[in-house]
Structure 1
């Protein structure tokens, strides 16, 4: 709108899921990974306002619209940080020079540290960790000398808004929890407890603070945990449903719909990169009733209250995007994101997620 929207600006932010996906593809296809930085990124604009123009038919494109069958270069942008991934180092160099002609670019070489994520690459794949980030948190909270614990949360603990006494100053609680939320970028094992404690962000108590500080000794025990990208996690989430479900099957069915949306988005993203799947994506569920609702095309009395948009699972199953499969509750990896578990079960699921202590292996020489 004239006189109103001219000063509206934004910075391009790649989702962290896309960052992990790109690294996964680089691990699978052995792509090169280079990192660039734009100097004074916000000083390159020459216009005071955005101007959109329609080109006349027949005007030649600035860049060729041909697609190479043998090479690919992907560009990931997060404000002024850029990651180039591709299978042809000469094309990556060409793209770097093009960007350097338009902006002043600093070439940081091979990707090693991006958005606080430490990237290590070897013959087995690409590993992500936030070791320095964890050590900084432990140091700031004076927890470097604390004794390690086996789980981030005692599975017998039950927290509520009335647990403990209100904190006189809740800013430190919010600050620490915010740092832990970002840590879940590479630490899915603490997603549940961090999400659970974030519910009390507005009025935290001493009990909530104690539970938050209990996470830190757990992080100290394994400061170098990493996710094995390529055959492991790309996207995960621990979030409370916005609606109240009438049954466990209802809740599971809604989760299936949410997961299907995520799978559809990732499929579209991979299609843009010309990576196609001939087989449907496998989606596992440990609730038989939810599976029956998702595969039964006849809506009945027990499902008429569910919003229509959640029934997209039917459409995606019929179209071949996803294939629903049952899984036993003891093998459901998603439980680590939804509930507090015993130390033995927690350790078992963490291992199955593909997490391991990268730094202990390096220190041990293996």
Structure 2
């Protein structure tokens, strides 16, 4: 499942690409170590272009999970976009142009098995020190739901940020279970929730209320409740195998390609041309 036609129309609307356009192939959706701030450069004289392109890219994330983190980052500056934000947007558009054929591979499965991967990047926002959370829900081996979002409050530790991210993922799983039930397709329970933070998992499994967790919002204990109801089960996953990681931070294109089998994403390599030529994994690794 791809949005090739929509992507082509989006790139045409950007006005950046012509037959003579030459640009360096970007290795990431946004520049590595990019830290965008509010009003860190001159304000755009006409912000409508920026807002329009970010809105179009947001729709593209319906089949492009690798764009979710970059789009949610750029969406934070819709009110007063600056020159630096526009430069980051143009970088993302070049990345989209280079990977226009990427999409989803939806495969059949013998059983209706839901899996959910939850992750967060602690204090990722340089302006507010809020964390960025992300989750991916798969049905069989195909992703059916994902999100990258900055958390609404500051977390005092990485464990707390992961715990809040797990609550968001758990709520999404509960909704999907109800949706599938209405379609007479009840999934196998309990649903496995994969997390790479052992401290956050300990908070979920330990029902004792103590000084270290009393400041966490009550709604964040949602995951613990679903665990007790046998709706969810927790399983630790190594960080290198954490699928939701690409929704919380920047990754080089090579790393995203490596994660693609887990996300059931794919590249139509025979159709994808970059800068009038084909790329190899070795070339991408160097970018």
TM-score w.r.t. the length of structure 1 is: 0.61
Relative contact order (alpha carbons < 8 A, sep ≥ 6): 1 or 2 greater? 2
Corresponding position: 1:139 with 2:49: no
Partners of 1:225 and 1:359 within 8 A in 2: no
Task: Report the alpha carbon displacement of residue 316 of structure 1 after superposing the two structures with TM.
Answer: 0.9
Are 2:172 and 1:295 aligned?
Answer: no
Q: Answer whether contact 1:283 1:322 (CA < 8 A) is retained.
A: yes
Structure 1 position 180 matched with structure 2 position 90: no
Shift in Å, 1:359: 7.0
Give 1:305's aligned residue: 215
Q: Cα deviation per residue 1:116-161 (whole Å; 9 max; x = unaligned)?
A: xxxxxxxxxxxx2111111112112233334332321111322111
Aligned to 1:164: 41
The match for 1:265 among 165, 172, 175 is 175
For 1:78-97, what aligned pairs fall within 5 Å after superposition?
none
In 1, distance between residues paired with 2:93 and 2:28?
10
Alignment of 1:62-211 (within 5 A): 128-144=1-17, 145-147=21-23, 148-211=25-88
Mapped contact 1:153–1:211 kept (Cα < 8 A): yes
SS of residue in 2 equivalent to 1:236? strand
Q: Is the 8 A contact 2:28 2:250 kept in 1?
A: no
Q: Deviations over 1:209-234 (max 9, x none)?
A: 01101111211222121111242210
Deviation string, structure 1 residues 39-78 (Cα, Å, up to 9, x no partner): xxxxxxxxxxxxxxxxxxxxxxxxxxxxxxxxxxxxxxxx
Q: What is the alpha-carbon distance in structure 2 between the residues aligned to residue 275 and residue 140 of structure 1?
A: 41
Contact 1:283 1:324 in 2 (8 A): yes
CA 1:191–1:274: 2 relative to 1, 3 Å: same
CA distance in 1, matches of 2:232, 2:242: 18
Deviation at 1:339, TM superposition (A): 0.7
Cα contact 1:288–1:326 (8 A) shared by 2:
yes
Contact 2:98 2:272 in 1 (8 A): no
- 2:99–2:272 CA contact under 8 A, matched in 1: no
- Gaps in structure 2 of 5+ consecutive residues: 108-140, 274-287
Larger CA Rg, structure 1 vs 2: 1
Cα offset for 1:352?
Answer: 2.9
Deviations 1:180-210 (A, max 9, x none): 1111111110100110011111111111001
1:361 and 1:132 map into 2 onto residues whose CA distance is 14
Q: Residue in 2 aligned with 1:221?
A: 98
Instruction: Decide whether aligned partners of structure 1 residues 209 and 300 sit closer, same or farther in structure 2, where only a CA change above 3 A counts.
Output: same
TM-fit CA distance, 1:361? 6.2
Of 349-358 and 255-264, the range deviating more from structure 2? 349-358
Mean CA deviation greater in 153-162 or 251-260: 153-162
Kindly indicate whether the alpha-carbon contact (under 8 Å) linking 1:238 and 1:338 is maintained by their aligned counterparts in 2. Answer: yes
CA contact (8 A) 1:294 1:313 kept: yes
| Secondary structure at the counterpart of residue 145 of structure 2 | coil
1:246-276, Cα deviation, whole Å (9 max, x unpaired): 1111111111111111101111111112222
Distance 1:185 1:246 in 2: 32
Distance 1:236 1:197, change over 3 A: same
For the residues of structure 2 that align with 1:193 and 1:362, how far apart are their CA atoms?
22
TM-score, scaled to structure 2: 0.77
CA distance in 1, matches of 2:63, 2:207: 39
SS of 2:105's equivalent in the other structure is strand
- Corresponding pairs, count: 237
1:353 aligns with 2:226: no
